[in-house]
Amino acid sequence: MSVHHGFRATMTARPGRGDEVIALLLGAPSLPHPDCVVFLVGRSAGDPDVIHVTEGWTTAEAHSAFFATEPAQTLVAELQKLITGDSQYTDEVPVGGKAFVR
């Protein structure tokens, strides 16, 4: 499957809530979605409350359609309770590489 749409998001959890944000993200409803080709969650080595997410989708339309669903909106609402400030988004289309799963 090819990736034609993607981004990298950086968000900051409220102090001490980084693990909760990561747990929510690792249970995200987009993970089993067939149009979500890449979904990686990482954290800053220097600040455990700074979390990075890289997503790659088959198309921008598939991404938009998915995030209009109730499960996606529920995830966003739960994340909003745990993060502070505005998340930063960077246009990024994953093209290859390697990831591991714990």
Would you kindly state where each structural domain of the chain is located, as residue ranges?
A: 5-89
pTM for this entry: 0.90
Q: Of residues 33 and 1, which shows the higher confidence score?
A: 33
pLDDT at 102 over 70: no
Question: End-to-end alpha-carbon separation of the chain, Å?
Answer: 24
* CATH number belonging to domain 5-89: 3.30.70.100
In tens, the pLDDT along 16-49 reads: 999 999 999 999 998 899 999 999 999 999 999 9
In tens, the pLDDT along 58-101 reads: 999 999 999 999 999 999 999 999 999 999 999 999 898 887 76
Which residue has tokens 């390697």?
Answer: 98
Q: What angle do CA 62, 88, 98 make, to 5 degrees?
A: 60
Residue 86 contacts by C-beta under 8 Å, 6 or more apart in sequence? none
